[in-house]
Amino acid sequence: MREARTEAERQRIRRGIAEDLVTLAYSFNRPWAEFGQCLRHVQRLGFSNLALRVHVACLYVQSLELFPRKAREAWMMLEAAERGVRRLRRDNLLREEHLESIAHAKAVARVPRPAFR
């Protein structure tokens, strides 16, 4: 952080660290107190790009067995990320990759999508 020359650079570093911490919290099956704190921090800072938004949303849905009461929020986050991906041009090479990640998260999720419409 000390080497960052501008506030924008510092913000980018903070975002990257926060996104990495969510991944680590997921990887180590951390409880909501830790995972949720990392997730909220990323949400406050904003995502670096759509790929990381998809990644974090997928992790959230896949971790719901640890905190099933967050199912509504997690599934809404995944659906919002999917809408963002579907807005990409069909010839965008990452579009299909992101959709496959989302489909995988949906398939392996142990807590089903609640009815909220």
pLDDT, averaged in runs of 10, over the chain (117 residues): 80 90 96 96 94 97 96 97 97 96 97 82
pTM of the model: 0.91
pLDDT of residue 117: 58
Q: Is the distance from CB of 57 to CB of 86 less than 8 angstroms?
A: no
pLDDT of residue 1: 65
